[in-house]
Structure 1
């Protein structure tokens, strides 16, 4: 009679996402995840082939979460705000999906495409369908850079960072919609 499964892939990925936020990518070990879900490390291999696959699954779950947040945004300013909120709530996942670093496993392209659906649609309504991709990339690059600087303590010249965000996002969106 086979041994009953003591955990699920969803539970493993959820535990891995939690560990990522607590201990960063170096702390995301199979042993730590196994301990978190209450099994021995070899049991994880019934669900995932390797740590790299698990990191990929965490990136994909994070992109799915981000997509759900962005999909109901009514405009680009609010979409950018939700993107920023995701980064603040899940800084390690934000880094994993936005700037994973050399050799770090990444999500499959369809997950990035899913997370991009809302911004592409809204950017198309502001900049025109022919410029939707360029507009989405412009806003994403600015917002990702801003959030990364916030998370890394890069704004150290004083001033109000919240005001800087509002200033920047409103102007970027306006520029995206301006006729050249």
Structure 2
């Protein structure tokens, strides 16, 4: 008789996400995840082939959550604020998907597309349908850069970071707005 399943793939991914936030990427090990879900490490491999596959699953789950968060956004500012709020709630996961670095497993493309839908939608409204992708990339690049610097303590020149956020978000959105008749 086969051994009963002691954990699910969903439980494994949740445990991995918790470890990523608590201990960073270095703390996301198969042994640590196995301990968190209450199985021995070899048992974990019945569900997940490798640490790389686990990191990919975490990235995909993160993008799924981000897509759900941004889906209700109807303005560019809501998209920007939604990205930032998500990043502050789950900074390690945000950096995993937005700035993964070389050699870090990435989510499959369909997860990125789902997470980009809101930015594409508001990008089309701002810059016109033919420039939606350009606008979405600009919004995403600005918010990712700002937030990664914010999370990593990169703003060292003084001043109030919240004021910089307001100023930047306002200027980025204004710069992407298509003049009437274009797009």
Q: What is the TM-score normalised by the length of structure 1? A: 0.98
Q: How does 1:111-150 map to 2 (within 5 A)?
A: 111-150=111-150
Partner residue, 2:97: 97
Q: Does 1:73 align with 2:73?
A: yes
Take 1:121 and 1:178, find their aligned partners in 2: how far apart are those partners?
14
Partner Cα separation in structure 2 for residue 74 and residue 125 of structure 1: 10
Could you tell me which residue of structure 2 aligns to residue 167 of structure 1? 167
C-alpha separation in 2, matches of 1:165 and 1:110: 30
| CA deviation after TM superposition for structure 1 residue 126, in Å | 1.3
Query: How far is 1:122 from its partner?
Result: 1.0
8 Å CA contact retained: 2:24, 2:92? yes
Cα distance in 2 between the residues matched to 1:101 and 1:159 = 30
> 2:178 & 2:119 partners in 1: Cα distance?
17
Superposed CA deviations along residues 10-65 of structure 1, whole A, max 9, x for unmatched, are 00000000000011111111000000000000111111111100000000000000
Q: Deviations over 1:80-112 (max 9, x none)?
A: 001001111111101100111111100000000
1:32 aligned partner: 32
In the alignment of these two chains, the number of paired residues is 180
Q: Aligned-pair distance for 1:178?
A: 4.0
User: How much does 1:160 deviate?
Assistant: 1.0
* CA distance in 2 between partners of 1:141 and 1:45 (Å): 36
Query: What CA distance in whole angstroms lies between the structure 2 residues aligned with 1:86 and 1:27?
Result: 21
RMSD of aligned Cα (Å): 1.0
Q: Distance in 2 between matches of 1:173 and 1:22?
A: 34
Runs of 4+ in structure 1 over 4 Å off: none
Give distance in 2, aligned partners of 1:31 and 1:46.
14
Q: Give structure 2 stretches of 5+ with no counterpart.
A: none
| Structure 1 gaps, min length 5 | none
